[in-house]
Chains A and B, each alone.
Chain A
């Protein structure tokens, strides 16, 4: 009974400030764009692989992206010298937990869990937050433990709030944003006298980074493209085999249909 009361109280608190999920941007990825995948692989190895592993992915698999063994060895192998190794990370989970508070998740199949759109929006939604331990927060992932690794490239963003009287207005302004946005809804008591209950939260670049916003978006696109490919490296083969199988099945379909109709001529 006591637990129930606590639960109800918690639920009530949550209900007070209903939080709408962030509208995700659609990631313009293309698993057949080899140049983008190669660039994404480079970004991934340079920036992500320092803390995150991709422990189910073998460097050797990168050869599928049109890279030669020599290119992989020279440009992408930092933690090992063997191309047959898995993309592991030197940091142990225990150390990681001590240094970062939480062990960075393995990224081999993260794109299948989160979806490319989420990753694409997430990597473009960090903002400065003095209250967080790392100094960073994220629109998509509230109080994320990961700092904004790419901030020298993207510049520094801050969160902005604008109040609106109704949802439609807030959404209309939100839709014009180039970056992630969400709308928090207050209860009438919280809103105060003016009745502005709908808070549009957006981020704005305060200091520019070394890349323009367009170039940064392209960089994130390449990274997400690579991570999506990495989450299922056989996806291209899978579809190619699929076309062949469908063709064979169509032949079988015609044959078995004729066979069926031929025999069923007997049945009156």
Chain B
């Protein structure tokens, strides 16, 4: 009887060892398959950082640059616009950009104007709700969606509002501010979108 149990114990440990080793190998095999669904080198190459020339952009004007297939807005804000931003602090949900810090707002843009230089706003023009692209509503004044509108962006899909720093209004479907992509100034009039460290 003791012989029998010894055999069973050996058998049991072998089964466990094989099952563990086999399971681990199977799991390791699944990794490359899952990894093959990540962006390919082509996708990465197409998503490479893009440069934008902003010298021609007059105050109050906006330009759109495509980066990774998404619209990136560059808005040259006027003095009045910057003042409006200060006034909306109370209306927006996350005035200091503290939510999802690293993901939505790089450190260098974590200020009231959400930008490196206050005049130039650089944000990804995709609503944080369900991915529509909001419309420009820069002119302050009463609007159907907000009686005391101070200028900003309006999302036509589900009515979310953003101020001129891309900060989302309270009590709207969209949960977060518009994303500020990583970017850096190559010179006073050129910015590089998609990368913030100087390239080697």
Contact = CB atoms under 8 A, between A and B. Distances in A.
Q: Are chains A and B touching in the complex at the 8 Å CB cutoff?
A: yes
A84 B199 contact: no
Nearest to B29: A245
Contact of B200 (A69, A248, A256, A262): A69
Interface of B is mostly: helix
Given A82-B48, A84-B48, A252-B22, A258 B14 contact: yes
Interface stretch (B39-47, B57-65, B87-95, B151-159): B39-47
Interface residues of B, number: 19
Contacts of B199: 69
Given A58-B41, A84-B44, A84-B45, A68 B10 contact: no
A176 to B, nearest CB: 48
B22 A262 contact: no
A252 B200 CA distance: 45
B11 interface: yes
Interface in A222-268: 248, 251-252, 255-256, 258-259, 262-263, 265
A262 B10 contact: yes
Interface string B1-35: 00000010011001101100110010010000000
A50 to B, nearest CB: 23
Given A60-B45, A70-B200, 8 more contacts: A61-B41, A69-B200, A84-B44, A84-B45, A84-B48, A255-B17, A255-B22, A262-B14
Interface of A: 58, 60-61, 68-70, 82, 84-85, 248, 251-252, 255-256, 258-259, 262-263, 265
23 contacts: A58-B45, A61-B41, A69-B199, A69-B200, A82-B45, A82-B48, A84-B46, A84-B48, A85-B45, A248-B28, A251-B21, A252-B21, A252-B22, A252-B25, A255-B17, A255-B18, A255-B22, A256-B18, A259-B14, A259-B15, A262-B10, A262-B11, A265-B7
